[in-house]
Amino acid sequence: MRLRALLETEALGLRLLGGEDELDRTVRGVMTTDLRDPSRYLTGGELVLTGLAWRRNSADSEPFVRILASAGVAGLAAGEAELGDIPDDLVSACRHHRLPLFAVNEDVAFATITEYVVRQVSGERAGDLAAVVDRHRRLMTSGPAGGGPDVVLDLLTTDLDLRAWVLSPTGRQIAGAGEPLPPGVCAALAGEHLAAVRTGRRGPHRISLQGIAYSLFPIRGAGRAPGGPGGRDVRESVLSDWLLAVEADAGDWPAERLDLLQGVTQLIAVERDRRDAARTVRRRLAQEVLELVQTGAPPAEIAARLRVAAPVLLPGLGAAPHWQVVVARVDWEGGDIPGGPVAQSLLEEILVDPSVSGPEPSDRIAVAHTGDEAIALVPLPAQTGEGGEDKAPEAALHADELLATVREPLRAGLADDGRLTLGVSAAVHSAEGLRGALEEARHARRVAAARPGRVCAAGHHELASHVLLLPFVPDDVRRAFTARLLDPLRDYDRRHRAELIPTLEAFLDCDGSWTRCATRLHLHVNTLRYRVGRIEQLTSRDLSRLEDKLDFFLALRMS
């Protein structure tokens, strides 16, 4: 298709700012970018769409346009949503390099232009494929009627006889045509894709599994592509990009078919960006709760935020849920690369509810990040026993289970210079216990970090592994440590028959749950609170703190 045809299409809302003599250029594809140097991803003939986020001052326009012209792009379309009118320096630079420049009205989405170009170009190259891409319009609609990526993949199968699947970087199948791939195959395909990206191999990446050939195409949304000078390091996006796996060997494909598949990945990338945008509310909720917890806000204020979060994360939930905290950290060697956003994307992927399938997978978590650390708040439906007592929810997360199916793909993505460590807290049922759960998850992550391997996790129950160190502690140190903590309680029990030591053991064994502990000891909760308060008074310790709980736990084990 020609640039002139785009200008004459009223629905696209393009306004020509320069390059009238170049409108007969052929458009072979479309690319959206805000990289200062996108040359690595240009092959020539593209219509480049940009929101102008790369432009910091007037001096930036000339080098940007020079790069596009040198790459042989067909034209440049700049959006007016960010800066309003297109800057004069960009108009002048395009005129100097004879690059046609269009203004895109702020009411027109780049996705609309992308879809139109892909449809027209594909139609010219493959005849009936124009109808295929036109039917993909449902991808852009929201809600159950949209169909999501499954619509695209079904049409690839019916019109091109290509079986294809969309996979996450951990190997989770997001969409697919026909029968789902076995989990082992998904994990192997994701691992091969991540390894190829980390080594800089050009796609599509080809692999043969169980005698079947697959070709792997990356799916990157706006602003995700790593680049050269001024671009993103590949490690910032490799563990968050989706991939398209096609059951075919693309090694002998003509350029037209390769371009068509690239256009399909662009359509699916729109859906990826839409799902990312839907997570914004959950991320903001997690950030608000995290800030309240870390600044020591009153439990009532934290509880109010949790009441707001629960309906968003678990729609229709009646009772207040239990909460678990998961802490993850991604560390990279030999570079100043922020690990927090990468860890956030990984947690959001790992914690997607596997029991819910379809085009709109259910996210049951809210993830925030601070520094190199990501923190997830996971709501769990409340459970009660036969007597109405509070009990740990059956759906509680376990560290090893979270990573059981994703270790191999993640190892490939982390390669030799990255590491993921993850810690999981016990479930708590109130805002009062959330701070302790956060510290517990962080401590569990530190336990995981002490282990060898690129992908390691530990749960709250593994904190007891400190007992393994006790035989190496000198006897006099053990006696002094135990006496300092437990002797005041033993003396008090001898004088008053108060049973503080049994109470302490039961309280720790019940993970600090007042209701379960009181039930186990056949006490009223107020009596239990009195005894715990007396323990804290006699020892000058705080049983809501993880460090003090751990000290008491070790002292009881050494006694």
Q: Which amino acid is at 135?
A: R
d(CA 334, CA 336): 7
Beta carbons within 8 Å of 278's beta carbon, 6+ residues apart: none
Which architecture does CATH list for 473-558?
Orthogonal Bundle (1.10)
Q: Give the pLDDT of residue 227.
A: 46
CATH number of 280-466: 3.30.70
Among 280, 275, 264, CA closest to 240: 275
- pTM, full prediction: 0.59
Indicate the domain borders of the chain.
Answer: 1-108, 147-278, 280-466, 473-558
Quote the strand ranges of 404-477, DSSP E: 418-424, 455-459
Q: Give the pLDDT of residue 390.
A: 52
3-state helix/strand/coil string of 360-399: CCCECCEEEEECCEEEEEEEECCEECCCCCEECCCCCCCH
**What's the sign of the alpha-carbon dihedral 124, 127, 129, 130?**
positive
Topology match between the domains 1-108 and 147-278: no
Mean pLDDT by 10 residues, the chain (559 residues): 88 90 88 89 89 91 94 92 84 94 89 84 51 47 52 78 90 86 91 89 87 90 49 75 91 82 83 78 84 84 78 57 87 79 87 52 71 85 56 69 85 88 86 83 85 87 59 67 88 92 91 88 93 93 87 83
Q: Give the pLDDT of residue 131.
A: 47
- The topology (CATH level 3) of 147-278 is Beta-Lactamase (3.30.450)
The full length of the chain comes to 559
d(CA 484, CA 486): 6
Beta carbons within 8 Å of 443's beta carbon, 6+ residues apart: 423, 463, 546, 550
167 and 149 Cβ atoms separated by less than 8 Å? no
Phi, psi of 55 (to 5 degrees): -85, 115
How far does Cα 290 stand from its chain's mean position? 17
203 and 209 Cβ atoms separated by less than 8 Å? no
Q: List Cα–Cα distances, 208 to 249, 264, 274, 316, in angstroms.
A: 9, 22, 32, 45
Q: Give the pLDDT of residue 391.
A: 54
d(CA 154, CA 179): 11
Q: Give the pLDDT of residue 359.
A: 39
Write the DSSP string, 161-187. ---EEEE-TTS-EEEESSSPPPHHHHH
The fourth-level CATH superfamily of domain 1-108 is HprK N-terminal domain-like (3.40.1390.20)
